[in-house]
Amino acid sequence: MPMKDYLSLIKFSHTVFALPFALLGFFLGTLESGAGLDGRLFLLVLLCMVFARSAAMAFNRYLDRDIDVQNPRTAAREIPAGIISPRAALAFVFINSLLFVVTTWFINPLCFVLSPVALLVVLGYSYTKRFTFLCHFVLGLGLSLAPIGAYLAVQGQFALLPLLYSAAVLLWVSGFDIIYALQDDDFDRSLNLNSIPVALGRNGALRLSSALHLACAGVILLAAYLLYSMYPAFGWIHWAAAAIFIGLLAYQHAIVKPNDLSRVNLAFFTTNGVASLIFGGMVILDIYF
């Protein structure tokens, strides 16, 4: 079966959401260690990101196959369309989960011990919309493991700054996933599936998403202040990155309205992907220059 079908199954292009924050956690750990870049460790962290996310996305598609086939928006996905069989998708999940755990063993003992916990969160998300409207926060929690996980790979211990970046990711992802879920509120309601738009309506969902992104902006600014206080050499690049990121958060709320969802995909993928790439790239650039 062509690899492009599996890349489409897991929406590999959506890696741009969490990967820049994972790299930020990694380079922050490298900065604090005072050592140079460890190429082997860097590769292991990248592999962990790829394996964990591939397992999570494939499992979500596997578990939702009977739901996706009923939704016109998702009926053409690989499993309901018959491009990838459910058995092949589940095997893909198992292989990537195993590779993730094995890879953490080569990083350090703490990452290895915590690897089943990480898998429980990222795989468990797929069940949540069946019983709770808080499913968006579980997705956010799964992606928020990226910066702290990458930091742990380098330092082998927790610290406040990477935890703040993880909190920012949790708030950011939960907020934009609520916006994305607006597309399916009627469909979800018809199947008794749970989401914030189903629970609060479109207006309430957008207000909550705005509040989450406002809190995310506050955490991003707090992290920038703490990083600057620890390393005064950090300058305008980091603050500019924070300003751009926050501006793009505001932009997506300006283009999505309760009665106009035509630009949800622009808000969801393009705006958030660009925000993550710019913020992560600029802060990493500031770390080294």
Query: DSSP for 105-150?
Result: HTT-HHHHHHHHHHHHHHHHHHHHTTT-TTHHHHHHHHHHHHHHHH
Question: How many secondary structure helices (H) and strands (E) does the chain include?
Answer: 13, 0
**Ranges 45-59, 61-75, 264-278: which has the least confidence:** 264-278
**Ranges 33-42, 95-104, 106-115: which has the least confidence:** 33-42
Q: Is the pLDDT of residue 225 over 90?
A: yes
**In the chain, domain spans:** 3-288
Query: In DSSP terms, which residues pair with 38 in a beta bridge?
Result: none
Q: What is the pLDDT of residue 33?
A: 85
Q: Is the pLDDT of residue 209 over 60?
A: yes
Q: How confident is the model at residue 266 (pLDDT cuts 50, 70, 90)?
A: confident
pLDDT tens digits for 276-286?
A: 999 999 999 98
Q: Count CA atoms closer than 13 A to 130's CA, side-chain side.
A: 9
User: How far, rounded to the nearest angstrom, does the alpha carbon of residue 153 sit from its chain's CA centroid?
Assistant: 18
pLDDT tens digits for 152-185?
A: 999 999 999 999 999 999 999 999 999 999 999 9
Rounded CA separation 112/105 (Å): 5
Task: Determine the topology of domain 3-288 in CATH.
Answer: Tetracycline Repressor; domain 2 (1.10.357)
pLDDT tens digits for 135-158?
A: 999 999 999 999 999 999 999 999
pLDDT above 70 coverage of the chain, percent: 98
Q: What is the pLDDT of residue 36?
A: 80
Rounded CA separation 4/178 (Å): 28
Token duo for residue 260: 């106009």
Residues 6 or more apart whose Cβ sits within 8 Å of residue 140:
169, 170, 171, 172, 173, 174, 177
Rounded CA separation 272/208 (Å): 17
Q: What is the pLDDT of residue 1?
A: 56
pLDDT above 90 coverage of the chain, percent: 84
Residue range 79-98: mean pLDDT, rounded:
96
Q: Is the pLDDT of residue 289 over 80?
A: no
pLDDT tens digits for 30-44?
A: 998 887 889 999 999
Mean pLDDT score of the chain? 94
Residues 6 or more apart whose Cβ sits within 8 Å of residue 38:
30, 154
Rounded CA separation 179/272 (Å): 12
